[in-house]
Structure 1
Amino acid sequence: MKRLILATVISFFAMSSNGTVTTTDNPFYNAAEVNHPLFAKGAGGSQCKGLPRVCGQMVSCEQAKQALKCGNTRLDRDKDGVPCESICPGG
């Protein structure tokens, strides 16, 4: 008799629960769009690939500005919006 009751209860819960798993069931999933060049889709991300990481390797101020736009904030030490001030004096 106990087995019959247990089987009935388990089958009731099995039928009442949603058996499909969706992405909203994942607490680590976030569908928000990330507006950052490193995560850009298509041509935007390709502009960031291969850029030098430090000011000493930059060949122009424009290259330094592009690297800053791509998220390399270490190029702007004083955070005034001008990267690599040795090659981009005053912007």
Structure 2
Amino acid sequence: MKNLILAAALSVFALSSNAGVTTIDNPFQSNTVLKESVEVDHPLFAKGAGGAQCKGLPRTCGQMANCEQAKQALKCGNTRLDRDKDGVPCESICPGG
């Protein structure tokens, strides 16, 4: 009986904790304007990693607007954009560099 009560209580808790989950539009894929600044706590976007030109850059190739933006993000330290380590980021939008 205790196990049944515990299982029921956990089920109610699990359902109620999911009720507050919402989605947020990706500002890089829409015309959404943020009403307030958002601080990103990630080493790739640290103030010492390249200053103002690094702040707010997209983090993935799919979010990049063009090759120049991808090159700037790579200079700012986002090495994930260059998977084969040849110095060319996001090869789908920067073929051959």
TM range (shorter): 0.5 to 0.7
TM-score of the superposition, structure 1-length normalised? 0.54
- 2: distance between equivalents of 1:64 and 1:51? 9
SS in 1 for 2:96: coil
The 8 Å contact of residues 38 and 71 in structure 1, kept in 2 or not, is answered as no
Please, which runs of 5 or more residues in structure 1 have no aligned partner?
A: 1-36
SS in 2 for 1:40: helix
Residues 1:82 and 2:88 are matched in the alignment? yes
After TM superposition, where is structure 1 displaced by more than 2 Å over at least 4 residues in a row? 37-41
Equivalences for residues 11-26 of structure 1 within 5 A = none
Q: CA deviation at 1:39?
A: 4.4
Equivalences for residues 8-87 of structure 1 within 5 A = 38-40=46-48, 44-87=50-93
- 2: distance between equivalents of 1:75 and 1:60? 13
Q: Tell me the amino acid that sits aligned with residue 54 of structure 1.
A: T
The root-mean-square deviation of aligned C-alpha atoms, in Å, is 2.1
- Computing the radius of gyration over CA atoms, which structure comes out larger, 1 or 2? 1
Please, which runs of 5 or more residues in structure 2 have no aligned partner?
A: 1-44
Count of paired positions: 54
